[in-house]
């Protein structure tokens, strides 16, 4: 399948590549994600039970208290967190956690990533250049299948 390139703003520098997990809902990393497994635990969240470890998390923005920054860092250290964030709009809590955890972050893209990226697509984040390169998975409708992530961690 042909790849799609989105252009946006570098929030946290770096490069990463992985399978996308897409959520149309904000995520709280403090109390909403198990830091030991990377599984979303927030009751009722569209990604409840989905593993974020090693994935590129595509979501609107973070939510929750300042402890979420340390939780993101903790997940990075233990390799249970996402490898990168693609956000509609970054916010300080997730950004600080991403800085500490050396996770690239891009936001302000020229197309809504929630409408362009589907869970399971391969996503390469080149935050240094503000680019997100999306390769739809085979058989994917190619347009945002938010909230339909894999249930297992590696």
Task: Write down the residue that tokens 């998975």 correspond to.
Answer: 137
Instruction: Report whether 29 contacts 72 (CB < 8 A).
Output: yes
* DSSP states along 26-46: -EESSSSB-TTT-BB--TT-T
Find where tokens 């990463």 sit.
Answer: 16
Task: Provide the sign of the torsion angle of the four alpha carbons 68, 70, 76, 77, taken in this order.
Answer: negative
- Say if residues 36 and 136 touch (Cβ distance below 8 Å): no
- SS3 label, residue 101: helix
- Residues with catalytic roles: 65
Report the interhelical angle of 67-77 vs 92-101 (nearest 10°). 30
**Could you give phi then psi for residue 35, rounded to 5 degrees?**
-70, -20
């Amino acid at each position: 399948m042909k790849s799609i390139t989105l252009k946006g703003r570098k929030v946290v520098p770096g490069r990463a590549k992985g399978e996308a997990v897409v959520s149309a809902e904000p995520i709280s990393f403090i109390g909403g994600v198990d830091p030991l497994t990377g599984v979303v635990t927030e009751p009722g969240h569209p990604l409840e039970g989905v593993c974020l470890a090693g994935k590129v998390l595509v979501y609107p923005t973070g939510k929750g208290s300042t402890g979420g920054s340390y939780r993101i860092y903790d997940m990075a250290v233990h390799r249970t967190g996402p490898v990168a964030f693609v956000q509609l709009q970054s916010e300080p809590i997730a950004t600080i956690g991403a800085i500490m955890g050396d996770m690239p972050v891009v936001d302000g893209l020229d197309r809504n990533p929630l409408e362009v990226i589907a869970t399971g697509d391969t996503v390469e984040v080149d935050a240094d250049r503000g680019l997100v390169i999306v390769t739809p998975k085979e058989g994917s409708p190619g347009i945002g299948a938010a909230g339909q992530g894999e249930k297992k961690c590696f």
